[in-house]
């Protein structure tokens, strides 16, 4: 029996068991007309050569294993950081199953999100009926405080108008007129999960920006937007630092309790999250600090243009990044950096000095989202490490320029090369093919979500975004 209910094994171990190895062997011999093992081995070795690398980098029309997810997963991640919020995806059920699976599998926590489950009829006539029925059922069954709507490729290709559909649903009595339903169009054939995060964050903030909510005086707080940071424990650390400085703040989208919920023995559908009242009051803050630049460009533009509020970017990675963040908070709020944080900084410098010998001169290859890469590279340079290959699938020209400036600012960064809009098959070539006698001792760093998305492939469609 290949599976035993007493000990369920995952697919890697499962496929090594005799039933499967026999099946694969027969399939190979009888139906696949497979090449001999030696030939396969020869080609595998060739794909590690410099010649193959050149061919791989000349590729234009094909993406293999992109190091990114599609827009709705980012939109869902942003929405789930708000109190009592249920993400509602207008589109096909399969896509939403994929988003939930990846988030649940990564965090080992339940992830609630619904879909309007559009099928053939909706593809022809539009998804209005699905939206009306879906909102009504979601509202009555799951009792959220807010429903945040985004779209999949299908709804975008048809051209579903979310604003009009939600208005129709309210007029039809599916949900109360004053029930909050922010929405973001998240076409997955452009951008990536960080674009989806930005679209949803802007949409939620736009929803709460009303004449009634905007006050004449500031509330003295500072808003923090964490961005698409999969290490939600970072939110707790940011809060600890701000509390230590006695700063009043609002984290805009705080999913630390949602994706790292305590096991109390009772299921809670919407643990934690930014209070909706605080989100509504965010427009009255002194300023907003975004911890990721490339995940929030539209949101920051909205904050500056509509709220007329200062927005800054500070990435608290390593000594320099964390200094910049704390100094920005101190400057905005007038609260000094606490003695406690000063002592911790000294301890960190000491730890870095103690471990410098282990990292200094080591070569690193890094891939991930633009802000993650920037932060990791900045910290590695502080440790005397040498980032060699830096690959980003969802960076833009500004990111490349900023990275090159960072690399050039340190003697350890001089040999680093930034590969923008490249995928993990390019990355493989970078890791395998080494020119001449340059013997790289390489370390690979990536974001956990990228590893999950890229290596546990679970395709639901064949688009390049679909991982």
Binding residues vs ligand SF4 (CB under 6 A): 70, 72, 95, 98, 152-153, 188, 460-461, 463, 465-466
> Among residues 185 and 221, whose Cβ is nearest to ligand SF4?
185
Identify the active-site residue in 73, 111, 150, 153: 153
Q: Which residues have a Cβ under 8 Å from the Cβ of 311 and sit 6 or more positions away?
A: 287, 288, 289, 290, 300, 303, 304
Answer yes or no: 157 catalytic: yes
Answer yes or no: 247 catalytic: no
How far apart are CB 224 and ligand SF4 at their closest, in Å?
Answer: 29
- Is the CB of residue 227 less than 8 Å from the CB of residue 201? no
Closest CA to 306 of 203, 378, 225: 203
How far apart are CB 183 and ligand SF4 at their closest, in Å?
Answer: 15
Place of tokens 């999913």: 255
Cα three-residue angle 340-344-348, rounded to 5 degrees? 170
- Joined together, the tokens standing for residue 54 give 């050149």
CA dist 395 and 381 (Å) reads 20
How far apart are CB 127 and ligand SF4 at their closest, in Å?
Answer: 14
CA dist 67 and 22 (Å) reads 34
- Residue in the shown chain whose Cβ atom is closest to ligand SF4: 95
How far apart are CB 87 and ligand SF4 at their closest, in Å?
Answer: 13
Beta strands in 198-304 (DSSP E): 222-225, 249-251, 287-290
Give residue 276's region: left, alpha or beta (phi > 0; psi -120 to 50). Answer: alpha
How far apart are CB 72 and ligand SF4 at their closest, in Å?
Answer: 5
Percent helix, strand and coil across the chain, each to the nearest 5: 50, 10, 40
> Among residues 242 and 466, whose Cβ is nearest to ligand SF4?
466
How far apart are CB 188 and ligand SF4 at their closest, in Å?
Answer: 4
- Joined together, the tokens standing for residue 363 give 């070569």
CA dist 286 and 222 (Å) reads 6
> Among residues 95 and 291, whose Cβ is nearest to ligand SF4?
95
Per the DSSP assignment, residues forming a β-bridge with 418 are 390
> Among residues 98 and 399, whose Cβ is nearest to ligand SF4?
98
> Among residues 72 and 182, whose Cβ is nearest to ligand SF4?
72
Radius of gyration of the chain from its Cα atoms, rounded to whole angstroms: 24
Identify the active-site residue in 40, 157, 190, 349: 157
> Among residues 151 and 223, whose Cβ is nearest to ligand SF4?
151
- Is the CB of residue 116 less than 8 Å from the CB of residue 134? yes
Catalytic positions: 153, 157
């Amino acid at each position: 029996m290949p599976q035993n209910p007493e000990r369920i094994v995952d697919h890697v171990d499962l496929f090594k068991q005799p039933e499967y190895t026999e099946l694969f062997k027969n399939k190979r011999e009888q139906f696949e007309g497979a090449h001999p093992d030696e030939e396969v081995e020869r080609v595998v070795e060739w794909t590690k050569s410099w010649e193959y690398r050149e061919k791989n980098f000349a590729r234009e029309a094909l993406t293999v294993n992109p190091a990114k997810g599609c827009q709705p997963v980012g939109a869902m991640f942003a929405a789930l950081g708000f109190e009592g919020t249920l993400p509602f995806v207008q589109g096909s059920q399969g896509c939403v199953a994929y988003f939930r699976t990846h988030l649940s599998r990564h965090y080992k926590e339940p992830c609630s999100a619904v879909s309007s489950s559009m099928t053939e009829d909706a593809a022809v006539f539009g998804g209005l009926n699905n939206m009306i029925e879906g909102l009504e059922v979601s509202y009555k069954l799951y009792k959220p405080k807010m429903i945040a709507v985004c779209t999949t490729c299908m709804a975008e290709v048809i051209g579903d108008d979310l604003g009009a559909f939600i208005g129709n649903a309210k007029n039809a009595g599916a949900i109360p007129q004053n029930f909050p339903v922010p929405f973001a169009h998240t076409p997955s054939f452009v951008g990536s999960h960080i674009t989806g995060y930005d679209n949803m964050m802007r949409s939620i903030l736009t929803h709460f920006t009303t004449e009634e909510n905007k006050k004449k005086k500031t509330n003295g707080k500072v808003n923090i937007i964490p961005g698409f940071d999969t290490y939600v424990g970072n939110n707790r650390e940011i809060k600890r630092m701000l509390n230590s400085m006695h700063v009043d703040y609002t984290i805009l989208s705080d999913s630390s309790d949602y994706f790292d919920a305590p096991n109390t023995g009772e299921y809670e559908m919407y643990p934690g999250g930014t209070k909706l009242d605080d989100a509504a009051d965010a427009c009255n803050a002194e300023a907003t600090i975004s911890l990721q630049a490339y995940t929030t460009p539209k949101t920051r533009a909205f904050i500056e243009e509509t709220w007329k509020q200062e927005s800054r970017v500070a990435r608290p990675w390593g000594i320099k990044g964390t200094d910049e963040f704390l100094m920005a908070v101190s400057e905005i709020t007038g609260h000094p950096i606490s003695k406690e944080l000063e002592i911790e900084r000294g301890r960190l410098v000491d730890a870095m000095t103690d471990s410098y010998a282990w990292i200094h001169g080591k070569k690193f290859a890094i891939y991930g989202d633009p802000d993650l890469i920037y932060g990791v590279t900045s910290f590695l340079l502080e440790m005397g490490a040498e980032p060699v290959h830096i690959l980003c699938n969802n960076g833009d020209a500004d990111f490349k320029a900023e990275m090159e400036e960072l690399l050039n600012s340190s003697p350890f960064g001089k040999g680093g090369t930034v590969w923008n809009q490249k995928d993990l098959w390019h990355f493989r070539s970078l890791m395998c093919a080494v020119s001449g006698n340059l013997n790289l001792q390489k370390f690979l760093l990536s974001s956990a979500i990228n590893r999950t998305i890229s290596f546990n492939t679970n395709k639901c469609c064949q688009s390049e975004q679909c991982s």
